[in-house]
């Protein structure tokens, strides 16, 4: 294979080494997970993207709706992006595109008609239609991306209609990127897997195969999509009342069959769920689904039909909290309530991570009296991803020199690599990767280059706000260990002028309120004594400028460490410091009367060593500032009054000033 000198230069300069020109393939998502498949192909100055999907949040990602890959690498190299190719329209392959287009342009995106039509809608919603150009492709179309890549779209079979594998010709050789696939010899839409074309490339010589590993652990061939037809037919025919079916809206073939069965069984179809309505509209418009208009009845009118003539098709097969079926199961849907004569069919299996939500939904529906059909033994769902024998057939047709399993969790990748070994690909010719790893391919070698930045970016419900690691940690702390608020009043000359108030919400602790108050006082005193100088700036004649935020942060960190160490809890700690005017009489706290068990002096690096009775210099108080007001202005703090102790059931507050003084004297 030949390559231009520019590509040689670009490769060697970037790595700072004198390397042979190579093709770099960088998965930014899709490895060690099912979701957010995003792959970068790079040669010389050209970058081509293959798919850009999203993933759904796992447990503990509170308030996160969508997970994106970290695309720092692409943002840094956006000038080199020449275009993108898309294999098919599933969310884990196109769901990230409109988000990424907010950060970098992609000159052109080539993809199947159905996927591109779905993408167009997403881009319009995100307002990024002018950040790229969309080009649709047909089977065996060849497109050129940049100087170095040409891509042939090879029709494959999958649960989504209009799906492709890719043959990517590069200066070092041909890479086959399978996309999601199974070998379905009786495809619902009659579009057969173009095995001849795969075999053609296999015959010519394939440098590397990157293949879908989703079902690498499952022996045998994946049953054809058509095989669910008779089982669904039987369930629908036997139903006495309404039939309610849930599946992925994007499983075009499944939805087509369900519509066909509704027609066959004399039932009208009502659709629920935004994505179900959208996908069916798009698929019908583009001719991927054939169903007469009068098969569909608006939900409001379908209630007038006899139950035996009704079929409701809806979203919610994954127990998503806001989807139609989930809301129905909670009795929260305005138009549809469960009847005891309903038969509810789950024609999908839960994606790992959704199992609990799915079984909870099934339980709730059963408790409402419906008959629920679910699970593998019912024959109402098959996977869209090939099993081991499908994967072997792919390997046998492509006959690759090098092999990289992709699209799967780690154990699936390991399993898939074993399958490849059983077909004679040697283990030195394979790589097991993580997101961000770099495959470097030359005509006769495969190796791992220096990894690039990869990770996750979490989007909240709006899909605009990014939930960064700090926000997520705070949400986890709130959910798991509750929140502690600390209100303190400190004068501009650095003394505590009122007892701090501590409130706990959702915190389970054996510590008594007094201890909490004591710890808090110690932290504040320590910070005032040891950090005051660094956190204030003297100004001529005026009151010093105080970094109140810095002081709050120091107290939060110190108290957090102490709670973690002493109580093994990590609540979110919120400290608010109320500034009071300089000269406000200081509050004499609890600190002296209960010496700490550790009396070693602390340094910044050793905040855990305790403070042993030291505190801000404080004359004996007679009157102290009012407990902290809601807003942090010194005007409020100047309104002084005696400290009042309130007792709230969930709060830990200081004992009264009288008690403090007495105990103090006794100590």
Q: How far is the CB of 28 from Zn ion (least distance, A)?
A: 15
Q: How far is the CB of 448 from Zn ion (least distance, A)?
A: 24
Q: Does 254 bind Zn ion (CB under 5 A)?
A: no
Q: List the x/- string, 295-314, binding to Zn ion by CB under 5 A.
A: --------------------
Q: Does 653 bind Zn ion (CB under 5 A)?
A: no
Give the orientation angle of helix 274-285 with respect to helix 252-264, to 10 degrees. Answer: 90
Q: Which is nearer to Zn ion, 90 or 254 (CB)?
A: 90
Q: Does 90 bind Zn ion (CB under 5 A)?
A: yes
> Of 43, 47, 40, which is closest to residue 1 (Cα–Cα)?
43
Q: Which is nearer to Zn ion, 139 or 550 (CB)?
A: 139
Mention every residue, 6+ apart, whose C-beta is less than 8 A from residue 232. 245, 257, 258, 261, 345, 347, 380
Residues from 160 through 219 that contact Zn ion (CB under 5 A): 180
> Of 663, 662, 587, 581, which is closest to residue 618 (Cα–Cα)?
587
Q: Which is nearer to Zn ion, 289 or 551 (CB)?
A: 289
How many residues of this chain interact with Zn ion, rule: CB under 5 A? 3
- Beta carbons of 171 and 148 less than 8 angstroms apart: yes
Q: How far is the CB of 507 from Zn ion (least distance, A)?
A: 42
Q: Which is nearer to Zn ion, 33 or 523 (CB)?
A: 33
The residues pairing with 539 across neighbouring beta strands, listed in sequence order, are none
Q: Which is nearer to Zn ion, 180 or 556 (CB)?
A: 180
From residue 27, how far is each of 70, 71, 74, 210, 320 by CA, in Å? 11, 11, 12, 11, 28
The residues pairing with 156 across neighbouring beta strands, listed in sequence order, are 163
Mention every residue, 6+ apart, whose C-beta is less than 8 A from residue 496. 488, 489, 490, 521, 524, 525, 528, 586, 587, 589, 615, 616, 618
Q: Which is nearer to Zn ion, 92 or 260 (CB)?
A: 92
Q: How far is the CB of 186 from Zn ion (least distance, A)?
A: 19
Q: Which one of the spans 72-80, 89-97, 264-272, 428-436 is the region binding Zn ion (CB under 5 A)?
A: 89-97
Tokens 């989930």 sit on residue: 326
Mention every residue, 6+ apart, whose C-beta is less than 8 A from residue 640. 584, 623, 624, 625, 626
Q: How far is the CB of 405 from Zn ion (least distance, A)?
A: 14
Q: Which is nearer to Zn ion, 99 or 614 (CB)?
A: 99
Q: Which one of the spans 92-100, 120-128, 306-314, 596-604 is the region binding Zn ion (CB under 5 A)?
A: 92-100
- Tell me the three state secondary structure of residue 419: helix
Q: Does 92 bind Zn ion (CB under 5 A)?
A: yes
Q: Which one of the spans 90-98, 320-328, 552-560, 579-587 is the region binding Zn ion (CB under 5 A)?
A: 90-98
Q: Does 390 bind Zn ion (CB under 5 A)?
A: no
Q: Which one of the spans 87-95, 146-154, 332-340, 520-528 is the region binding Zn ion (CB under 5 A)?
A: 87-95
Q: How far is the CB of 146 from Zn ion (least distance, A)?
A: 25
Q: Which is nearer to Zn ion, 34 or 575 (CB)?
A: 34
In 113-162, beta strands by DSSP E: 132-137, 142-145, 149-156
Cα separation of 389 and 383, whole Å? Answer: 14
Residues that bind Zn ion in the complex, under the rule CB under 5 A = 90, 92, 180
């Amino acid at each position: 294979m030949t390559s231009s000198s520019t590509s040689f230069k670009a490769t060697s300069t970037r790595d700072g080494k004198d390397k042979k020109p190579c093709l770099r393939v960088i998965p930014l998502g899709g490895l060690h997970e099912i979701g957010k498949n995003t792959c970068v192909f790079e040669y010389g100055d050209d970058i081509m993207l293959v798919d850009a999907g999203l993933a759904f949040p796992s447990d503990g990602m509170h308030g996160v709706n969508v997970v994106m890959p970290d695309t720092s690498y692409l943002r840094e190299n956006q000038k080199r992006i020449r275009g993108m190719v898309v294999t098919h329209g599933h969310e884990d392959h196109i769901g990230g595109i409109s988000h990424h287009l907010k950060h970098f342009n992609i000159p052109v995106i080539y993809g199947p008609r159905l996927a591109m039509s779905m993408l167009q809608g997403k881009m319009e919603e995100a307002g990024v239609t002018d950040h790229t150009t969309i080009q649709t492709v047909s089977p065996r179309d060849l497109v050129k991306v940049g100087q170095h890549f040409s891509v042939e779209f090879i029709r494959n079979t999958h649960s989504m209609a209009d799906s492709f594998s890719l043959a990517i010709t590069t200066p070092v050789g041909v890479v086959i990127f399978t996309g999601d696939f199974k070998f379905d010899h009786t495809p619902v839409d009659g579009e057969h897997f173009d095995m001849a074309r795969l075999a053609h490339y296999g015959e010519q010589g394939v440098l590397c195969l990157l293949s879908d590993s989703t079902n690498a652990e499952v022996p045998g061939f994946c049953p054809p999509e058509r095989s669910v037809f008779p089982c669904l037919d039987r369930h629908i025919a036997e139903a006495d009342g309404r039939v309610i079916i849930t599946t992925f809206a994007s499983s075009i073939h499944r939805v087509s069959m369900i519509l066909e069965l509704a027609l066959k069984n004399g039932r009208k179809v009502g659709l629920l769920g935004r994505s179900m309505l959208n996908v069916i509209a798009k698929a019908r418009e583009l001719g991927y689904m054939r169903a007469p208009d009068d098969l569909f009845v608006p939900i409001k009118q379908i209630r007038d039909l006899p139950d035996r003539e009704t079929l409701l098709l809806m979203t919610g097969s994954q127990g998503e909290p806001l989807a139609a079926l989930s809301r129905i199961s909670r009795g929260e849907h305005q138009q549809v309530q469960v009847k005891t004569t309903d038969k509810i069919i789950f024609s999908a299996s839960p994606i790992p991570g959704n199992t609990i939500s799915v079984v909870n939904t099934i339980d709730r529906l059963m408790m409402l009296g419906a008959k629920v059909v679910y699970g593998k033994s019912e024959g109402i769902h098959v996977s869209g991803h090939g099993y081991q024998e499908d994967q072997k057939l792919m390997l046998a047709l492509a006959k690759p020199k090098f092999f990289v399993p992709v699209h799967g969790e780690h154990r699936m990748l390991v399993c898939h690599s074993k399958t490849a070994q059983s077909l004679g690909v040697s283990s030195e010719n394979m790589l097991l990767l993580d997101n961000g790893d770099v495959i470097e391919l030359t005509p006769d070698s495969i190796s791992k280059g220096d990894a690039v930045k990869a990770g996750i970016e979490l989007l909240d419900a709006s899909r605009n706000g990014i939930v960064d690691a700090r926000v997520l940690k705070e949400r986890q702390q709130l959910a798991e260990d509750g929140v502690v608020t600390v209100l303190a009043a400190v004068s501009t000359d650095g003394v505590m002028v009122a007892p701090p108030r501590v409130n706990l919400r959702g915190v389970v602790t054996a510590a008594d309120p007094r201890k909490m108050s004591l710890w808090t006082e110690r932290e504040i005193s320590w910070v005032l004594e040891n950090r005051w100088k660094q956190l204030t700036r003297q100004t001529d004649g005026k009151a010093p400028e105080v970094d109140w935020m810095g002081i709050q942060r120091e107290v939060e960190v110190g108290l957090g460490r102490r709670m973690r160490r002493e109580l093994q809890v990590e609540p979110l700690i919120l400290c608010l410091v109320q500034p009071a005017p300089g000269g406000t009489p200081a509050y004499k706290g609890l600190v002296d009367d209960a010496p700490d068990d550790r009396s070693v002096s602390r340094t910044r690096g050793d905040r855990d060593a305790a403070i042993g009775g030291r505190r801000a210099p404080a004359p004996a108080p007679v009157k102290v500032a009012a407990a902290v007001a809601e807003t942090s202005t010194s005007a409020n703090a100047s309104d002084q009054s005696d400290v009042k102790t309130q007792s709230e059931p969930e709060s830990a507050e200081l004992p009264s000033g009288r008690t403090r003084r007495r105990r103090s004297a006794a100590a």
